Amino acid sequence: MGIEYSSVVEATRDDVFDWHAKRGAIHRLLPPWQPMSVVSEADSLADGRAVLGLPGGLRWIADHQPTPTIPRHASSMHSDTTA
């Protein structure tokens, strides 16, 4: 089970990838109305883990799992899992 979402972005694939790969992307991706905060984040997608704080002291661990066999610009180049 999972959530799937897609959208069209008026930018090149490389620009979009770079925006997501740049430190602080998790802060830019979190909606301001959501009751969660970034507890920690990786320095890069290669390290790939963010810990989000939720109400009641809960933690959401998001792991980014790069797929090295798919080129950097491919739309399906990674998967993200949560624990």
Residue type for position 74: A
CB atoms within 10 A of CB 64: 19
Q: Is residue 64 part of a domain?
A: yes
Tokens of residue 63, six digits: 């792991």
- Give the confidence band of 11 by pLDDT, cuts at 50, 70, 90: very high
- Asked whether residue 5 is assigned to any structural domain, the reply reads no
- The answer to whether residue 45 is domain-embedded is yes
Task: Report the SS3 class of residue 55.
Answer: helix
The per-residue pLDDT for range 41-63, each reduced to its tens digit, is: 888 777 778 899 999 999 988 88
Asked if residue 76 is part of any domain, the answer here is: yes
pTM higher than 0.85, yes or no?
no
Range of the domain at 32: 13-82
Asked whether residue 69 is domain-assigned, the answer is yes
Q: How many domains does the chain have?
A: 1
Q: Provide the H-helix boundaries in 1-83.
A: 13-21, 25-29
Residue 8 lies in a domain: no
- Give residue 76's pLDDT: 45
Is 52:62 a contact under the CB 8 Å cutoff?
Answer: yes
Residue 24 domain-assigned?
A: yes
For residue 48, what is the domain's CATH number? 3.30.530.20
Q: In this structure, is residue 20 part of a structural domain?
A: yes
